[in-house]
Amino acid sequence: MFKNYLNGLKAYTGTFSLIQKIGLWKYFVIPIGISFVIALFIGVAAWGWADNLGAFISSIWLWDWGAETFGTVSEILGAILIVLFGIILYKHLVLALSAPFMNPVSEKIEAHITGNPFQSNNTGFVQQLWRGIRINSRNLIMELLFTVLIVLFGFVPVVGILAAPLLFLLQAYYAGFGNMDYTLERYFTYQKSISFVRSHRGIAMGNGTIFMILLLIPVIGVLIVLPFSVTAATTSTVYLLNPKVSA
């Protein structure tokens, strides 16, 4: 899996030049707009809810002694939880709503790599949107479930320090999953796509790792994350589906 993880990272090499070469920027205009609006909305909501969540957590402490310290810790914990769940929600909303716009991008990249024009599977805007919503709704539920378990694991002495990297890899996996499905949608059913990504989880994690790192760049991150991550994921997935095509 580690080799696949590295391949998922390496797929970002040359993504900018590939986007330029085959003229993909125009296809990213609407998804970039979707990404910016959702990020702005979640950011504003998180700003308003962080204090409320912190106050709720601090209300659990029933004693006078240590109340001030616990209150400060609660505010910090509340902010961290809001940011964590905000990123999860942002990611799946953007990946789901961008699905119809990413299909032509994926097709053009595949045609460029293989040298063969891809024969469309004739799925329309609504079908592609529904596929994106279905996949990412399923992934959102799974990711929230595992996130809660990992957060609880984080309170275990000593080994709890592994919670942070596990949360990051979890987020990366589902981000890469969504990016890969833009290509898999043309090949596999919903269930078979899930099985395919599980078999190549290293690629998904590698792709999602850079996805998450790009999101850390203020403002610019939410504008460039889809163009680069989708291009890289499509490239990786096309090579997996067409092993005879040399990278």
pLDDT in tens, 56-69: 766 776 666 666 66
Residues 6+ apart with CB under 8 A from 228: 12, 15, 16, 19, 210, 214
Q: What is the per-residue pLDDT for 57?
A: 65
Identity at 57, one-letter amino acid code: I
Rounded-to-integer distance, Cα 181 and Cα 174, Å: 11
Q: What is the per-residue pLDDT for 91?
A: 94
Tens of pLDDT along 163-199? Answer: 999 999 999 999 999 999 999 999 999 999 999 999 9
Residue 116 burial (10 A CB sphere; 0-12, 13-18, 19+)? exposed
User: Three-state DSSP class for 77?
Assistant: helix
Residue 45 has pLDDT above 80, yes or no: no
Tens of pLDDT along 88-117? Answer: 999 999 999 999 999 889 999 999 999 877
Q: What is the per-residue pLDDT for 48?
A: 72
When pLDDT is averaged across residues 24-32 and rounded to a whole number, the result is 94
Rounded-to-integer distance, Cα 7 and Cα 77, Å: 35
> What whole-number percentage of the chain has pLDDT above 90?
63
Q: What is the per-residue pLDDT for 67?
A: 64
Residues 6+ apart with CB under 8 A from 19: 25, 28, 227, 228, 231
pLDDT category of residue 121 using cuts at 50, 70 and 90: low
28-37, 122-131, 149-158: range with highest mean pLDDT: 28-37
Rounded-to-integer distance, Cα 178 and Cα 181, Å: 5
Strand extents, DSSP E, 22-179: none
Q: What is the per-residue pLDDT for 173?
A: 97
Encoded tokens for 5: 């993880």
Burial of 47-84, coded b for 16+ CB within 10 Å and e otherwise, reads eebbeebbeebbeebeeeeeeeebeeebbebbbebbee
Residue 42 has pLDDT above 90, yes or no: no
Encoded tokens for 227: 């163009």
Q: What is the per-residue pLDDT for 49?
A: 74
**pTM as predicted:** 0.89
